[in-house]
């Protein structure tokens, strides 16, 4: 019995090697994740049936009191008994695939044992499908577990060999030496089968853990790449974004090449084939159009699916990933490979994850832009509304001046017209030339000094060469207005406001100072960060500061402080040269 047990374990070692190879096949994953359909049931039943046949062929023969160990078990004489581990494959099929897979695998293994012959063939024919069916029904009790633990599998594996021994005694009661055979093979068969089933389930647990770790690594990698891609995605579907994304993906991933498209043409291509996959070429491949229309990741496994017309193109396979911020994909990212075999399951997981993450980021960026446009449009609409008190006071001054100083009255009228024309044009632009903003401020200063003649003096200093600098409209004028209405509110005479625009090394500095009362301490800490007056509908420091930050960047935010000699200073910086875009989009 001891020698028989050792022989069975030796043979099972070869069977387990075959089982280990089986766990590495791509289709085995569907069993682990319970992804069943009619086709997969037949496929898995057939595969495990072949596994059972292979286990039978690795079996041994009992010939009387002699144990025969063939290289492969091809046939059994009528007076011999075949002892195999086919039940290991059938039990595993039932535990993983359920009753139908177990039954199918058992029938295949049982039919093979029928043609093999020997004493006990009838018991073997019945025990294999019955064991597969019972193992599948038993697995339903552990349906909440992804894989049955080795200890439970060890316990379950004890019963099939016992059932086999009982059926051999039932179906062959007149065989003279059947009781002796059962006594001889019973315990070795129970030990070897149950331990083999436990080892196989442990293998499955290891495979599952490897897949989970691989998926976790792919997810973590996708998150890292998506985070690094965010600065490029904020540029929208433009060449700069495409070049940045393609360079990033090519450096981070082990792929032959990567392309980024806008849905119609190639924007950038990095890697092999760059000599003929040129930016500007139209997308003509059918699989790319399908990915755009269905918004699903597609895989091209052949050169014909890529449809590259270049005769020496080294790229034979690709993963096409749709990206977009709405219901329809607006662009594609393509991972190219030299061979279809180079596309691993982890690459597909990574590609799909990247596509979803990048699409979500684009959607968030688009929503933030839309929110910013709405906010900016609202602010410009508010700025375009001329304060009626300011208008009435200015008209009153003009009427008074016409009696004594008609020339000056005409001049103020022209400045008021310029001021109103500028305000009416605010709605159409997010950025204007700094020179136009200066003209607006001069018009406002002329009107204010006419209103507060003798009480207020405003000086304006402007550097030359600022024609290529852009600024949000109505940015400087609200600062001057703030000094007039708040800083110099209680100043009766000798009020002074100075507006200075200076060229620095790489920026333009705008400063507005006054000699008024300054900001109260409780206001100074929050000035520019929140609206100073609840419900106020005129343009304030908060609105100016927020628009500067959004349109020109954090470095252009307002800097507000009180001066030691009295009064306050509000300043900000503008980049020396910025590219003006239509509606800043």
d(CA 50, CA 196): 17
Angle between the 159-171 and 121-139 helix axes, to the nearest 10 degrees? Answer: 150
Dihedrals φ, ψ of 577, to 5°?
-135, 120
Closest-CA residue to 101 (of 114, 90, 86): 90
Going 153 to 89 to 101 to 122, the CA torsion angle's sign is negative
Task: Classify 513 in phi/psi space as left (phi over 0), alpha (psi -120 to 50) or beta.
Answer: beta
The CATH number given to whatever domain includes residue 335 is 3.30.450.40
> Quick one: tokens of 532?
């100073």
Tokens of 88: 């290991």
Alpha-carbon distance values, 108 to 112, 140, 191, 321, 380 (Å): 6, 23, 24, 42, 79
CB neighbours (10 Å) of residue 171?
A: 18
Q: From the CB of residue 223, how many other CB atoms can be counted at a distance below 10 Å? A: 13
User: What's the CA gap between 134 and 125, in Å, rounded?
Assistant: 15
Same domain? For 151 and 290 the reply is no
- 427 and 363, same domain (yes or no): no
Q: Measuring CA to CA, which residue among 514, 386, 377, 518 is closest to residue 444?
A: 386
> What are the DSSP calls for 239-285, one per residue?
HHHHHHHHHHHHHHS--SEEEEE-SSBEEEEEETTTTTS-TTPBP--
Q: How many angstroms separate the CA atoms of 96 and 91, rounded?
A: 9
Is the same domain home to 423 and 571? yes
Tokens of 195: 């331990």
Residue at which a domain ends, from 321, 351, 376: 376
Greatest distance between any 2 Cα atoms in the chain:
142
Distance CA 499, CA 533 (A): 24
The domain in which residue 322 lies consists of: 234-376
Q: Is residue 211 classed as helix, strand or coil in its secondary structure?
A: helix
Q: Which two tokens stand for residue 213?
A: 């770790």
Which pLDDT score, from 0 to 100, does residue 386 have?
A: 55
CA distance linking residue 344 with residue 581, whole number of Å? 43
Residue 292 CA to residue 327 CA, distance in Å, equals 11
Residue 217, pLDDT score: 75
Instruction: Provide the 3-class DSSP secondary structure of residue 524.
Output: helix
User: Quick check: is 223 in a domain?
Assistant: no
Using the 3D structure, point to which of 316, 346, 376 is the last residue of a domain: 376
529 within a domain of the structure (yes/no): yes
Cα dihedral sign, 351-354-360-361: negative
CB atoms within 10 A of CB 442: 18
Assess whether 206 and 288 both reside in one domain.
no
Does some domain include residue 153? Answer: yes
Whether residue 369 sits in one domain with residue 393: no
d(C-alpha 50, C-alpha 31), whole Å: 16
Beta strands per DSSP E along 170-276: 257-261, 266-271
| Residue 218: inside a domain | no
Instruction: Based on the fold, state whether residues 350 and 420 are members of the same structural domain.
Output: no
CA–CA dist 41, 100 (Å, integer): 7
Claim to verify: residue 171 and residue 26 sit in the same structural domain? yes
Q: How is the chain split among helix, strand and coil, in percent rounded to 5?
A: 55, 15, 30
In a domain, residue 165? The reply is: yes
Indicate the residue among 376, 404, 426 that finishes a domain.
Answer: 376
Residues 422 and 556 in one domain: yes
Please tell me the distance from the alpha carbon of residue 223 to that of residue 357, in angstroms, as a whole number: 7
* pLDDT for the residue numbered 383: 56
Q: Is the dihedral of CA 23, 106, 9, 196 positive or negative?
A: positive
Q: Which residues contact 575 (CB under 8 A, 6 or more apart)?
A: 469, 506, 507, 508, 552, 553, 555, 556
Contact between residue 332 and residue 288 where contact means Cβ atoms under 8 Å apart: yes
Q: Are residues 51 and 152 in the same domain?
A: yes
Please state whether beta strands 298-300 and 317-323 pair in parallel, antiparallel, or not at all (unpaired): antiparallel
Domain count, the chain: 3
Q: What is the pLDDT along the chain (585 residues), one digit of tens a residue?
A: 557 777 777 777 777 777 777 676 665 655 555 555 677 788 888 888 888 898 888 888 887 777 788 888 888 888 788 888 888 889 988 888 889 989 999 999 999 988 888 888 888 889 999 999 998 888 877 766 667 888 888 888 888 888 888 888 888 766 667 788 888 888 888 888 888 888 888 887 787 777 677 767 777 777 778 777 777 777 665 777 888 888 888 888 888 999 988 878 888 899 998 888 888 888 878 888 888 888 888 888 888 888 888 888 889 889 998 887 656 667 888 999 988 888 877 788 788 888 888 877 777 777 777 776 676 666 556 555 556 667 777 777 788 777 778 888 888 888 888 877 776 665 567 788 888 888 889 988 988 888 887 788 899 998 887 777 888 888 898 899 888 888 787 777 888 899 999 988 888 999 999 988 888 887 777 777 766 554 343 347 888 888 888 888 888 889 998 998 888 999 999 887 554 443 443
- Do 365 and 411 fall into the same domain? no
Task: Find the Cα–Cα–Cα–Cα dihedral 12, 18, 24, 29, rounded to 10°.
Answer: -70
Which CATH number goes with the domain that contains 507? 3.30.565.10
pLDDT at 583: 40
What's the rounded Cα separation, in Å, for the pair 286 and 317?
14
Q: Which residues contact 53 (CB under 8 A, 6 or more apart)?
A: 86, 108, 109, 112
CA angle, 65 as apex, 62 and 68 as ends, to 5°? 40
Residue 25 and residue 153 in one domain = yes
Task: Give Cα separations from 582 to 31, 421, 428, 563 (angstroms).
Answer: 56, 20, 10, 39
CA distances from 486 to 180, 529, 532, 539 (A): 111, 18, 12, 14
Is there a domain that residue 449 lies in? yes
- Beta-bridged to residue 130, according to DSSP, are none
Same domain as 395, residue 365: no
Cα angle 526, 422, 389; round to 5: 65
Please give the Cα distance from 548 to 546 (Å, whole number).
5
Asked if residue 226 belongs to a domain, the reply is no
Around Cβ 457, how many Cβ atoms within 10 Å?
Answer: 15
- DSSP 8-state code for residue 486: I
82 lies in some domain: yes
């Amino acid at each position: 019995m001891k020698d028989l047990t050792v022989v069975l374990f030796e043979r099972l070692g070869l069977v387990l090697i075959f089982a280990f190879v089986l766990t590495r096949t791509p289709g085995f994953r569907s069993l682990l994740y319970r992804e069943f359909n009619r086709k997969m049931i037949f496929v898995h039943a057939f595969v495990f049936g072949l596994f059972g046949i292979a286990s039978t062929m690795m079996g041994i023969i009992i010939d009387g009191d002699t144990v025969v160990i063939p290289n492969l078990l091809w046939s059994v004489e009528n007076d011999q008994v075949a002892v195999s581990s086919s039940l290991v494959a059938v039990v595993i099929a039932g535990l993983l695939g359920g009753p139908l897979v177990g039954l199918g695998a058992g029938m295949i293994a049982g039919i093979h044992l029928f043609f093999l012959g020997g004493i006990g063939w009838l018991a073997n024919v019945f025990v294999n499908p019955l064991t597969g069916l019972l193992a599948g029904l038993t697995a339903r009790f552990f349906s909440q577990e992804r894989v049955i633990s080795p200890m439970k599998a060890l316990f379950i594996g004890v019963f099939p060999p016992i059932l086999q021994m009982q059926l051999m005694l039932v179906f062959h009661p007149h065989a003279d030496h059947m009781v002796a055979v059962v006594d001889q093979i019973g315990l070795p068969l129970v030990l070897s089968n149950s331990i083999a089933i436990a080892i196989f389930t442990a293998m499955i647990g290891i495979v599952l853990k490897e897949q989970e770790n691989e998926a976790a690594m792919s997810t973590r990698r996708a998150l890292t790449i998506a985070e690094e891609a965010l600065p490029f995605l904020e540029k929208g579907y433009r060449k700069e974004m495409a070049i940045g994304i393609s360079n990033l993906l090519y450096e981070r991933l082990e792929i032959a090449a990567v392309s980024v498209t806008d849905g119609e043409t190639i924007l950038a291509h990095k890697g092999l084939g760059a000599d003929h996959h040129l930016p500007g070429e139209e997308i003509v491949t059918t699989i790319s159009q399908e990915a755009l229309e269905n918004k699903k990741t597609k895989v091209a496994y052949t050169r014909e699916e890529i449809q590259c017309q270049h005769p020496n193109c080294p790229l034979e396979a690709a993963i096409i990933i749709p990206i977009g911020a709405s219901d329809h994909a607006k662009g594609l990212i393509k991972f190219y490979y030299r061979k279809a075999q180079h596309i691993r399951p982890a690459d597909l997981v990574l590609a799909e994850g990247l596509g979803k993450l990048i699409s979500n980021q684009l959607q968030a960026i688009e929503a933030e832009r839309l929110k910013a446009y709405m906010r900016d449009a609202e602010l410009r609409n508010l700025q375009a509304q001329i304060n009626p008190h300011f208008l009435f006071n200015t008209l009153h001054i003009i009427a008074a001046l016409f009696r004594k100083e008609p020339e000056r009255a005409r001049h103020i009228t022209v400045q008021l017209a310029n001021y109103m024309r500028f305000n009416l044009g605010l709605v159409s632009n997010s950025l204007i030339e700094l020179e136009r903003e200066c003209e607006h401020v001069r018009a406002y200063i002329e009107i204010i000094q006419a209103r507060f003649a003798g009480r207020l003096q405003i000086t304006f200093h402007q550097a030359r060469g600022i024609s290529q600098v852009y600024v949000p409209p109505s940015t400087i004028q609200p600062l001057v207005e703030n000094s007039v209405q708040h800083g110099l509110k209680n100043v009766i005479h000798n009020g002074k406001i100075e507006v200075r625009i200076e060229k620095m090394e790489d920026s333009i500095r705008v400063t507005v100072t006054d000699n008024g009362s300054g900001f109260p301490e409780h206001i100074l800490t929050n000035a520019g960060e929140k609206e100073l007056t609840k419900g106020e509908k005129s343009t304030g420091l908060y609105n100016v500061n927020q628009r500067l930050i959004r349109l020109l960047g954090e470095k252009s935010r307002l800097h507000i402080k009180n001066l030691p000699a009295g009064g306050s200073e509000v300043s900000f910086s503008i980049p020396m040269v910025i590219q003006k875009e239509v509606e800043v989009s």
